[in-house]
Amino acid sequence: MENLGLNVHSFIINTLVFGVFFVLMHFLVLKKLGGILAQREAKLMEADKRAEATKHALVQAQEEFATIIANAKLEAQTIVAQSKHQASAQTKALLAQAQTDAESIIAKAQGVLAVERAKMLAQFNATLETAIKEALTTVLAAQASKIDFDPQVLQEVPPQL
C-alpha cells in the first residue's frame, strides 16, 4: 500500500476519527435533526388534517348557504304571491266600496235634482202666472174702453195655469 501512497497507520487513524466523528454526529446532530424533522412532519400532518377539516366545513357551509338562498327565494316568491293576492283583494274591496259610494252620491244627487226641479217648476209656474196676469191686465186695460173689464177678476183666477 505504500506504493500507492497510502499509509496504513494514518488510514486506521483516519478511519477511527471518521468513525468517532460519524458516531458523534449521529448522536449529537442527526438525532436532533431527525427529531426536528419529525416534529415538522407532525405539524404538517396536523395542518393537513385541519385543512381537510376546514375544506369539509367550507363545503358544508356552501351547501347550507345554497339551501338558505333557495329557501329565501321560495319564501320571497310566496310573500310576493301573497302580497299580490292581498293587493288584488284590497283593490276589489276598494272598487266595490267606490261603486257603492258612487251609487249613493248619484242617488243623493238625483234626489237633490228632483227637489230643485220641483222648486224650479213651482217658481216657473208662479213667474208664468204673474207674467200672464200682468199681460192680461195690460191687454185688458188697453181694451177697457171697448169692453167692460174688472181687474179683480184676474185676482180671482185660480193659480193652476
- Which amino acid is it at 109? A
The CA-to-CA distance between both ends of the chain, in Å, stands at 172
Q: Which residues have C-beta within 8 Å of that of residue 157, sequence separation ≥ 6?
A: 133
Domain definitions of the chain by residue range: 8-155
Residue whose entry in the numeric block shows the C-alpha cell 446532530: 29
> Using CA atoms, how far apart are residues 1 and 101, in angstroms rounded to an integer?
132
**Averaged confidence pLDDT in the chain:** 86
Residue pair 140/149 in contact (Cβ under 8 Å)? The answer is yes
What are the backbone dihedrals phi and psi of residue 63, each rounded to the nearest 5 degrees, phi first?
A: -65, -45
The x, y and z cell numbers of residue 56, run together, are: 369539509
Neighbours of 129 (CB within 10 A): 15
The CA R_g of the chain, rounded to the nearest whole Å, is: 62
Q: How far is CA 118 from CA 111, 158, 159, in A?
A: 11, 20, 16
Residue pair 129/154 in contact (Cβ under 8 Å)? The answer is no
Q: In which band, very low, low, confident or very high, does the pLDDT at 48 lie, cut at 50, 70 and 90?
A: very high
* pLDDT tens profile 31-46: 888 888 999 999 999 9
Instruction: Enter the pTM of the model.
Output: 0.42
* pLDDT tens profile 91-150: 999 999 999 999 999 999 999 999 999 999 999 988 988 888 888 788 777 766 666 656
* pLDDT number for residue 136: 79
> Using CA atoms, how far apart are residues 109 and 36, in angstroms rounded to an integer?
104
